[in-house]
Structure 1
Amino acid sequence: MRYAETTAGITVEVEPHFLEEQSSPADGHYVWAYSVRIANHSAARVQLLSRHWWITDALGRTQEVRGPGVVGEQPHIAPGEAFEYASGAPLPTASGMMVGSYQLIGEDGRQFDVAVPAFSLDSPHEPMTVN
């Protein structure tokens, strides 16, 4: 499933995938990869400065992650262009969720936050429920 959210002309799309081969359910170790596409639909060039994530497991335990850039980069994204990357997240439970934001800076020097949509981390090791 693909999740998307647009803030100030910047669209963030996320698609998570469960990594069975890197997971060990018997040991309480579950791993997901997620691909991200950040598309600039605004009229100005932007640069991604930092990320801020909240990663929550099925027991409601939340880990907060902050850091510069994404995957070691602080990309510039021109109008009409996009930046894509892939990363991953481990959890001690068979499901969870992630949500976050990116801090960007525009050509005018103004910094602003762009929402990363909440996305579900689902594995085949736990039945899905609708809340």
Structure 2
Amino acid sequence: MNFEPLPGLSVTVDSVSYDPTRPAPPDRPHPFVYHLSIHNASHDVVRIFGRKWIVRDTDGDTMVVEGDGVVGQFPNLSPGETFSYNSYHVIKTESTATGSFFGTTPDGRRVCTRIPAIEMHPPMPA
């Protein structure tokens, strides 16, 4: 399936923070909360229907996270609208997350926009 970048559709990383109160499995004990905003400055209505994250750590491990919607929603962004949300990644060691959101326009074009890289640096053990 081919997706084309849509000029004017963009993502900003509003904040990233370490949050040890979030649940995390023993093999990935470091939760990082991120806040993102998807901005539609294009001339088209865009329905966001999916996302893909690639999380690479300094040990050379890569985790791919794909799914439908955005935090259980399928935002329909008219020109000039923004959709903001937060979620989190759990990591083992220093990691970088990159990704994309995927959508469609009313005329059926498949469009995408890149998510800027998120750098996650767990605190050093005491």
TM over 0.5: yes
Q: Give me the whole-angstrom Cα distance separating, in 2, the residues matched to 1:13 and 1:75.
A: 16
Residue number in structure 1 paired with 2:116: 117
Q: Considering only aligned residues, what root-mean-square deviation do their CA atoms show, in Å?
A: 2.2
State the SS of the aligned residue for 2:12: strand
Matching residue's letter, 1:119: I
TM-score (norm 1): 0.81
TM-score (norm 2): 0.84
State the SS of the aligned residue for 2:21: helix
Residue number in structure 2 paired with 1:86: 86
Does residue 100 of structure 1 match 2:65?
Answer: no
Which structure has greater helix proportion?
A: 1
Identity of aligned residues (%): 30
State the 1:7 CA deviation.
Answer: 5.2
Residue number in structure 1 paired with 2:75: 75
2:46–2:105 Cα contact (<8 Å) kept: yes
Residue number in structure 2 paired with 1:40: 40
Please list, as runs of the form range in 1=range in 2, the aligned pairs for 1:18-29 lying within 5 A after superposition. 18-22=18-22, 29=29
Give CA-to-partner distance per residue, 1:45-93, whole Å, 9 cap, x none: 1010110110112212000111101100111011111001100011122
* Count of matched residue pairs: 119
Residue number in structure 1 paired with 2:65: 65
Q: Which runs of 4+ in 1 moved over 6 A?
A: none
1:105–1:111 Cα contact (<8 Å) kept: yes
Matching residue's letter, 2:113: V
